[in-house]
A and B are shown apart, each in its own frame.
Chain A
Amino acid sequence: MGNEKLKSTRRKFIKSAAALAGTSLGLSLLNASGLLIHAAEPEDKDLPWYGIGIDIEKCIGCGNCARACKMENDVPKEPFFFRTWVEQYTVKNNGEVDISSPDGGIEGFEQKIPDSDIFKSYFVPKMCNHCYKSPCTQVCPVGATYVSPEGVVLIDEKYCIGCRYCVQACPYGCRFIHPVKNVANKCTFCYHRLKKGLAPACMENCPTGARIYGNLRDKDSELVKFLKEHITQVLRPNLNTGSKLYYNELSSEVR
């Protein structure tokens, strides 16, 4: 009688130990194969790996980029949908920071705070950061948004179910739901222009050359030179999004 009990407890122990070992092995395999965390590796070395450079020193807040983007990409004109926009930061003498983006900066900016109150002021263009560890791609339940082989984060408008998870996951506020198409929408890096050898509309239309783009793998590209010559930062580095949008002169007030 006692023997049987010992056998059964031993059996139970072996079973549970095996289950535990199997589960931990399985989980580690899961992790190793990158199923849980999405990280896009630049596989095809012949393709360019696109990045963006923005020089805050050169931005004059004219809003041309935002306007051109809307006209190039048929984005609704209302002030609620932007693939790119410009913000103005005004640091006052009393330490307060005023941030504004009237209609995304499309019609430019009107100075409302008198010069005497201003400590410093500058403009910051924003757009999709085309993260290579993109959180929006990680959370899409069906695979309707993805990192292309060239490093451009795109949306499959025919596949998106409109769950809005990606909009929640983007830390930069770059995504929105298109009011007519009823699917997710965002800056596509003018992928359709890139493929024809043209510059993205926002960069084509920047009068001061504050916005540049290029192949991060190409040492002679304007972008790589920009990275070498300036001290650059990305937004929200603590979130480890793999952002490929590098700012020069990014001041600590910038959100």
Chain B
Amino acid sequence: MLKKNDIAPDFTLFATPDQKITLSDFKGKNVILAFYPADWSPVCSDQMALYNEMLQFFKKYDAEIFGISVDSKWCHMAFSQSRNLHFPLLADFEPKGEISKKYGVYNETEGECNRALFVIDKEGMIQWSYLSPMAINPGANGILEALEKL
């Protein structure tokens, strides 16, 4: 798994059925990458739903957040609509898990991403990373503490 002072590998992934997002387009902004196993985990403890409530906090630190899983763009669209999410979910779908593998957070046994967080600074350098146990939603305090230190 990549860690502090590693260069964040660039990528271009579908964010909606007809729109792609490229990481390097966000140079000059802080970026949070939240890799998570799958869409449709139980509602109230859902990690993405929590981050959705926190966008104003992230904005204070000039940070954009992207969720990433191996689900397809269509699956992300349905999930995003059902949870009223206001930030992009990226589809690491084809080739499956390619970006997760580059970040060292792909789980070969499950065929899913691990639950992992990265905070990337304005120059594209990873400043903080965290691997959470699969079943535990890591919350957001680690992200905020990392943004605070930038």
The answer to whether A binds B is: no
Chain B residues at the A interface, C-beta cutoff of 8 Å:
none
Chain A residues at the B interface, C-beta cutoff of 8 Å:
none
